[in-house]
Every structure is written in structure tokens, then in C-alpha cells.
Amino acid sequence: MPGSFFDSNVPLYLAAGTSPKADRAESLLSKGGVISVQVLNEIANVGLRKFGMSMAQLDLFLAGIRGAMRTIPVSIEIHELALEVRERHRFAFYDCAIVAAALLADCDTLWSEDMHDGLVIDRRLTIRNPFAA
């Protein structure tokens, strides 16, 4: 079933507070989609280290994200496909793992501020920058 996969930067803008990017992130995330446990881990790391969230704040935010999204585990299949994506596209490896998770979740859109807006992977996954004009 085609759908949207979200890189960690989209929900992180929501966690960061009020801004046009936070509003856009909220609009996209409210429609639902897919994330991986890697995305949750990245949110936790940034929330604690950069945003200074308490564990209680982080738990509440992550619970909201998990409640709105289908969450897939990190698997050996994601790892192996990430290696293939890395060979073909030369992205940073953790970005390749996000792409691989989106492909294996049968998503047709990957929302990420950090990757090549408009790039189509394997003729079925389009990377979109949610904040591009």
C-alpha cells in the first residue's frame, strides 16, 4: 500500500516548537504514515542532547509519534538493502537505512529535508523535501 515514510527531521521540527516548518510537519504527520525504529532513536537522541528534553517530555512526544505512525523494526533486510542503496546512490549510510526502510514498507514518498528532493529510487520511491518552496 503506497504511503509516506518520514525521516526524523520532520517530527523533530514539530518537537522544536512553533515555526512554519513545525506547522508543515504537523500537517504532514497528521495524515499518518510510516517510520522505523531508527527514526525513533534519532528523535530520542536529538530530543535529549540538542533540545534538552526531560525523559518525561521525550516519552510523551515519542508516544504521540508512535500513536500516529506505523512503526517498523530495524531488520537485517533493511541493513542489506541499505548497503545496496549506498552502493548505487552514495548517501550517508544512515540515510540509506531510511531509504531501505521506506522501500521495504512499500512507501511511494519519503519526506526528508536532508536528501535529494525529487530523486526517485528504484522507480517507486520519491524523496520529497517537505519544506521546499
Query: How far is the C-alpha of 28 from the C-alpha of 22, rounded, in Å?
Result: 10
Summarised one tens digit per residue, pLDDT across range 45-73 is: 999 999 999 999 999 999 999 999 999 99
Q: In this structure, what is the dihedral angle of CA atoms 35, 127, 117, 132, given to the nearest 10 degrees?
A: -50
* pTM of the predicted model as reported, rounded to 2 decimal places: 0.93
**Cβ–Cβ contacts within 10 Å for residue 27, how many?**
11
- Number of Cβ within 10 Å of residue 5's Cβ equals 29
Bridge partners, residue 100, by sequence: none
On the CB side of 77, CA atoms within 13 Å amount to 8
What's the CA gap between 20 and 5, in Å, rounded?
21
Q: What is the pLDDT at residue 1? A: 47
- Phi, psi (5° rounding) for residue 115? -115, -175
Contact 37, 72 (CB under 8 A): yes
Q: Give the chain's domains with CATH numbers.
A: 4-128 (3.40.50.1010)
By mean pLDDT, which of 7-21, 28-42, 64-78, 116-130 is the weakest?
7-21
Q: Tens digits of per-residue pLDDT, 69-87?
A: 999 999 999 999 999 999 9
